[in-house]
């Protein structure tokens, strides 16, 4: 079961402003990448479970994080049904992220007080998610809507907490545009955890880029 309540997870999302996204079927590699973002200061990671036997990989990674990375909050993304959400929560997922708004996932996560963040693309979907108890709404795909969409939403609904995913880069320009628009946090995947020309992960660069992104976000929030 989860080690953090949905309110605790939401507070860390709001405080740090960054949720790295990553998936790989290689458990040993995943551990190295997670350690890199952790060393860079990240305290959340969304494991985007998109492969066969992904739940087995997540189970091992969560055990590793609990033992070796104090304060690291592991969650699961790309969850598309309530059964999958239950499976990952049984394996200790502290938050569930979905590409679409599904009420069945909302109910099962709320029952266990686990934060869930559904992918929404309209004001109506955002309102529905909040009515179902969502703390932080995922704007997906972020690149399709952009910061101006967030700014427009925050006008009539300043209480809405939004996390764009897709189309966010760990650069001053990108982060400033999103946080100036009013986002609560951002989800960044391959732009942060990137492969080099040889299709390998540069762990030191991942750590450095994570640290820089968090520093930029902290300055923007200040």
First CA to last CA across the chain, in angstroms? 35
What average pLDDT does the segment 182-200 reach? Answer: 93
The domain made up of 6-221 is a member of CATH 3.60.15.10 = no
For 124-155, the pLDDT digits (tens) are 999 999 999 999 999 999 999 999 999 999 99
Q: Could you tell me if 126 and 101 are in contact, meaning their C-beta atoms sit under 8 angstroms apart?
A: no
- Is the previous residue joined to 134 through a cis bond, with omega within 30 degrees of 0? no
**What residue spans of 17-133 are helical by DSSP H?**
27-39, 54-68, 82-90, 103-111, 123-131
* pLDDT above 90: residue 199: no
Prediction pTM value = 0.96
What average pLDDT does the segment 163-174 reach? Answer: 96
Q: Tell me what pLDDT residue 196 has.
A: 86
pLDDT band at 198 (very low <50, low <70, confident <90, very high): confident
* pLDDT above 90: residue 106: yes
What average pLDDT does the segment 94-112 reach? Answer: 97
* pLDDT above 90: residue 72: yes
pLDDT band at 123 (very low <50, low <70, confident <90, very high): very high
């Amino acid at each position: 079961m989860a080690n953090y309540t949905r309110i605790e997870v939401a507070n860390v999302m709001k405080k740090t402003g960054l949720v790295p996204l990553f998936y790989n079927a290689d458990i040993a590699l995943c551990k190295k990448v997670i350690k890199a973002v952790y060393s860079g200061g990240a305290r959340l990671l969304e494991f985007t479970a998109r492969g066969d036997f992904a739940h087995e990989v997540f189970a091992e990674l969560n055990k590793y994080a609990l033992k070796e990375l104090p304060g690291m909050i592991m969650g699961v993304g790309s969850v598309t049904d309530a059964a999958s959400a239950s499976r990952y929560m049984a394996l200790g997922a502290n938050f569930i992220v979905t590409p679409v708004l599904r009420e069945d996932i909302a109910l099962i996560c709320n029952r266990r007080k686990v934060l869930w963040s559904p992918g929404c693309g309209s004001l109506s979907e955002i309102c529905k998610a909040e009515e179902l108890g969502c703390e932080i709404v995922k704007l997906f795909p972020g690149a399709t809507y952009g910061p101006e969409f967030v700014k427009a939403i925050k006008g009539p609904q300043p209480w809405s907490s939004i996390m764009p995913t897709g189309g966010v880069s760990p650069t001053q320009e990108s982060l400033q545009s999103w946080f100036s628009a009013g986002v609560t946090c951002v989800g960044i995947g391959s732009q942060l955890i990137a492969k080099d020309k040889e299709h390998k992960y540069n762990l030191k660069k991942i750590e450095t880029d994570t640290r820089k992104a968090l520093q930029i976000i902290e300055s923007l929030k200040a």
